[in-house]
Copies of this chain bind each other. A is one copy, B any other.
Amino acid sequence: MGAGFLESNSGLDRACGDPGQFFRTHFKFLLTCRSMDNPQLAQLQQTLEHQMPITKAMGIEVASYIDGRLAMQMPLEPNRNHQVSAFAGSLNALCTIVGWGTVYLLLQQELLSGNIVIRRGKIRYWRPVYTPEFIATALPLPAQDVGYFFELLQSKGNSKIDVSVDISDDKGPYVHFKGSYVVQAS
């Protein structure tokens, strides 16, 4: 989204006053459109909002699902800490949900359902997050891991898979997370 875009929406830009605020609002709108166009993502968003109320308080929103990489966004404001950066517990919660959602969508693509539970997690906080909105994105799942996951699920009725999730910008990672998820087929 370059300067041309902003120019072509100069009315909106003026209406918002703060160009940063305009960018954030529009950015969120674009991402929301993208997720709402996909019924699986819309259903995932509904599951979060209706069945995991704290994710709503945190402002977690499903952003996109591109090339098997699920992304969710979170605003700083309700998740700020005493340093006015993002609270580590909120960052971990965001990554945990992105990992969980990745396994949820993996099952849905094969028209399967199951109970998905995180068994263990590891997280590294590289630097504080001060941006008003930030996005956690799952890393691509290795094809071999996905193959093994479905093989085990079919043969045993339960399976496991690791999902890595990053929160980063062009300067590098803020946070790197790895969660081990266990699935019981239903």
Contacts and interface: CB of A to CB of B under 8 A. Distances in A.
Contacts of A58: 54, 57
What's the interface size class on A, roughly?
A: 35 or more
A122 B78 CA distance: 24
Count identical subunits in the complex.
2
Given A120-B123, A122-B120, A78 B57 contact: yes
Contacts of A52: 80-82, 87
A97 B93 CA distance: 13
Contacts of A79: 53-54
A54 B51 contact: no
A89 interface: yes
A94 to B, nearest CB: 8
A128 to B, nearest CB: 7
A73 interface: no
A88 to B, nearest CB: 5
A106 interface: no
A124 interface: yes
Interface stretch (A9-17, A62-70, A111-119): A111-119
Q: List the 7 shortest-distance A-B pairs measured between CB atoms, nearest first.
A: A89-B93, A51-B82, A57-B57, A89-B96, A88-B118, A92-B92, A120-B124
